[in-house]
Chains A and B, each alone.
Chain A
Amino acid sequence: MTDLIWLVVAIPLVGAAVNLFLGKRIGEPLSGWIGFGAVAASFLIAVEPMLGFFAGDSEPSTHFLFSWIPVLGVNAELLWDPLSALLTMIVTGVGALIHLYSIGYMHGDERFPRFFSYLNLFIASMLILVLAANYAVMFVGWELVGLSSYLLISFWFTKPTAAAAGKKAFIVNRIGDWGFLVAMMLIFAAFGTFDFDIIFGTAPGVLSVTMATAITLLLFVAAAGKSAQLPLYIWLPDAMEGPTPVSALIHAATMVTAGVFMMARSAVLFELAPVSGGIVATIGAATALLAAVIAVSQRDIKRVLAYSTISQLGYMVLGVGVGAYTAGVFHLTTHAFFKALLFLGAGSVIHAMSGEQDMAKMGGLRKKMPITFFTMGAAWLAISGIFPFSGFWSKDEILAATFAQGGAWYLLWGIGIVVAVLTAFYMTRLFVLTFLGKPRWDADAHPHESPASMTIPLIVLGAFTVSFGLVNTPFRLSFEHFLEPSFHGIPHVEGLTNVLITSLASVTLVVAIAGIVVAWRRYRVDELPVEVGGWWDRALVGFGVDDLYGRWIVAPGRRASELASRADAVVLDGAAHGIATGVRSAGEALKPVQSGRVRTYAGILAVAAVALVVVTVLVGGGF
């Protein structure tokens, strides 16, 4: 079955094409089932070869598709190894469930077939990204993911906020893409190839530390764009302007994991650049902390989840930064389950509340929607890090790996612990406010449980959320062994005794429980605490980072461009303006030199000529 791997990518592509061109004729709900079927088929094709890795009787293999840019030796090749197999399973598995859920959720939308076309394209792009056997193919997937996320976030483009959010995601991701492109150029310059096999096989001998640092930092810029790390995270909270299944897809299974996946894939390079590792870990921890703090204050149920995603991604990046690649990928996996569950659950709630997203107007939904309640409860415990739910194991592993580094890394570990408290706190807040207590609904709300196409995915995801952590406990490292072939012999984090592991795990568990208890006592009351003024307001708007960008980057850019040419306002919005501003002002400063006078030009020509003569003679030793 391994030979059929190309089908995994091809089927969703075909599905996307079918829905794009024939969607109107096929109509609802059949086009939804086609979309779901395509992804499910990919999943089924991938299962059997994946099991081979689990059984330990399969070798990683590359699959040549066609010769793409022969002069650079670039082929369209897919790499089937445990890491890509795992991601394929997540992308197609969780993706299929989200498709199924969307059939119910998008019911009645006039562009229903188009939505499934985009979803399939998204899945296919992500599969190209994870199955790539070289950086060039990966970049294609990377770009396609950016494109399809843009299409999906601004799916309801008539809503101005949705259109703006799509644009924001697109622009911020472009900054990351630049990092990827430059990194690719450096990689090609150093290795003369984009092939993972050759690069990772020869890197320790070929790459100087400086070069490795440069490449990995650029890769991190790219990852920071996709995986929403400081300072490029600003697109993600806005990205929930898209339909909720899209948020689930972006936040859980696909887009945001791309950055972490890419860094894990490049683990060999990161191993060679300790400085990069430090920077990556620090930024990861900082992102986790900032996002967790902001999440505490949010009132919109989806915004809480959005910031929690950023925070959890911070954990994964921290894991990669400290060299615990397996732990990072493990957390990615468990996070994919419980975050998809949370978003779908939130979608179910919003669906039931006829579009209400403010948690202050929910409460007491437990009775009305039991399935959603129970499944989300599992996700709540998992993300809070309660034993033995999946999130506990993966989070603990990252923190333990950080602790094991010692020295200044204790600080990052401390931050991780603080984030764990905060996570437990805000998730409990979300859960209590939504499902428990007295109903605080508007008069015209009639909450009801969602249809089966929406609840079945919740149940399946719930099962994984509860159990998947057991795949890799510190005492049973099957996940680690499974991924081993993908990390080219990078050693596991050492230096942890069983006692230490147990006590660290206990610490994490204790702080998580503490967070839950504090939140429980605060919110499980009849009169909700008033959360306005001072700190709450500032945190609610994300500490005004968007404003800050607006004031320091976007606004001056706007002003300069309005002065120079008003057409430019159309061209660039958002952060990209900041870079442009500096360059533009240089250009404006140079404009007077281009005075239009022939004599000035002749003068500059002559001065330059004399300078060139003098320099040439000096270089050549003629004086």
Chain B
Amino acid sequence: MSEVIVFVIFAAVALVGAISMVSARNPVYSAMGLLSTMFSLAVLYVVLDAHLVAAVQVIIYAGAVMTLFLFVIMLIGVDKADAYGRQVPAQRIMTFVVAIGFFAAIALAARSAWITGSGAFGDPEMNGTIEAVSDELFGTWTIVFLSTVMLLTIAAVGTIALAYFGAEVEDEEALL
């Protein structure tokens, strides 16, 4: 029963956070909404025995990613005039139709069973501890883990390429 209570509370927080993220006029409040959703999801991960994921969620997502977001919001200034759906009148109606339609389609399609896969392959006693996850991560998934080097190199190189405005920019004059 306690699980139900925890779920209800944090699901509600997650939903409220998400909705406030979408609807807040001030991007800072949007970021705060997203942050609260992420924290509630971390709690739900713990309930689901996904301890490592929960930790990473808090550290990386809530910690690093959201900080970066807030930093950029502050950098480019809070643009309070950003009202949503003003320029395109049909956009708002379309948005609701799409969002509700999307949810309804999934819920309808899944109304009898979410999971059709047989659980026979899995380990019912599985627990997402750091050991269990790292066994898998550095066993089966080693090569994928290593491949993220490429992703991170791209991120680093790309960020420099895009955001570093040094003297090199002048070189581009030759292109035009």
Contacts and interface: CB of A to CB of B under 8 A. Distances in A.
Direct contact of A and B (CB under 8 A): yes
Nearest to A608: B98
B109 interface: yes
A603 interface: yes
A599 B88 contact: yes
Given A597-B88, A600-B91, A610 B102 contact: yes
B88 A617 contact: no
B94 A603 contact: yes
Contact of B102 (A597, A599, A613, A622): A613
A606 interface: yes
Interface in B69-125: 87-88, 91, 94-95, 98, 101-102, 105-106, 108-109
Nearest to B97: A607
A475 interface: no
Nearest to B100: A610
B96 to A, nearest CB: 11
Interface string A586-612: 000000000001011001001101100
A574 to B, nearest CB: 41
B101 A610 contact: yes
Contacts of B94: 603, 607
A603 B93 CA distance: 11
Q: Chain B at the A interface: mostly helix, strand, loop or mixed?
A: helix
A614 interface: yes
A599 B109 contact: no
A617 B91 contact: no
Contacts, number: 31
Given A597-B88, A600-B88, A600-B91, A623 B98 contact: no
B98 A606 contact: yes
A599 B98 contact: no
Contacts of A597: 87-88
A623 B109 contact: yes
Given A599-B88, A603-B91, A622 B109 contact: yes
Which of B95, B101, B102, B105 has the most C-beta atoms of chain A within 10 angstroms of its own C-beta? B105
A506 B108 CA distance: 81
A607 B88 CA distance: 16
B74 to A, nearest CB: 23
Contacts of A599: 88, 91
Contacts of B102: 606, 609-610, 613
A623 B109 CA distance: 5
B95 A614 contact: no
A549 to B, nearest CB: 42
Contacts of A622: 109
A603 B95 contact: yes
Contacts of A607: 94, 98
Q: Chain A at the B interface: mostly helix, strand, loop or mixed?
A: helix
Contacts of A609: 102
B104 to A, nearest CB: 9
B130 to A, nearest CB: 36
B105 A613 contact: yes
A376 B101 CA distance: 81
B98 A617 contact: no
B105 A614 contact: yes
A519 B30 CA distance: 94
Contacts of A600: 88, 91
Contacts of B91: 599-600, 603
A607 B90 CA distance: 13
A613 B101 CA distance: 10
Interface in A362-406: none
Contacts of A617: 105, 108-109
Contacts of A623: 108-109
B145 to A, nearest CB: 31
Contacts of B98: 603, 606-607, 610
Contacts of B88: 597, 599-600
Contacts of A613: 102, 105-106, 109
B105 A610 contact: yes
Nearest to B112: A622
Interface string A7-40: 0000000000000000000000000000000000
A619 to B, nearest CB: 12
A67 to B, nearest CB: 45
Nearest to B87: A597
A602 to B, nearest CB: 10
Contacts of B95: 603
B31 to A, nearest CB: 20
A614 B107 CA distance: 11
Interface string B19-62: 00000000000000000000000000000000000000000000
B109 to A, nearest CB: 5
A610 B105 CA distance: 8
A122 B77 CA distance: 74
B32 to A, nearest CB: 23
Contacts of A614: 101, 105
Which of A600, A610, A613, A614 has the most C-beta atoms of chain B within 10 angstroms of its own C-beta? A610
A10 B102 CA distance: 67
A409 to B, nearest CB: 59
A73 to B, nearest CB: 44
A613 B88 CA distance: 25
A600 B88 CA distance: 8
A622 B110 CA distance: 8
A206 B105 CA distance: 45
Contacts of B105: 610, 613-614, 617
A150 B125 CA distance: 81
Which of B91, B98, B108 has the most C-beta atoms of chain A within 10 angstroms of its own C-beta? B98
Interface in B122-146: none
A573 to B, nearest CB: 37
A538 to B, nearest CB: 54
A115 B98 CA distance: 67
A334 to B, nearest CB: 69
A613 to B, nearest CB: 5
A433 to B, nearest CB: 70
Nearest to A609: B102
A33 to B, nearest CB: 61
A597 B105 CA distance: 27
Interface string A348-372: 0000000000000000000000000
A585 B115 CA distance: 49
Nearest to A617: B109
Contacts of A610: 98, 101-102, 105
Nearest to B106: A613
A560 B150 CA distance: 50
Given A603-B98, A607-B94, A609-B102, 19 more contacts: A597-B87, A597-B88, A600-B91, A603-B91, A603-B94, A603-B95, A607-B98, A610-B98, A610-B101, A610-B102, A610-B105, A613-B102, A614-B105, A617-B105, A617-B108, A617-B109, A622-B109, A623-B108, A623-B109
Closest 10 CB pairs of A and B: A606-B98, A617-B109, A622-B109, A610-B101, A613-B105, A603-B94, A610-B102, A614-B105, A623-B108, A610-B98
5 contacts: A597-B88, A609-B102, A610-B101, A613-B102, A613-B109
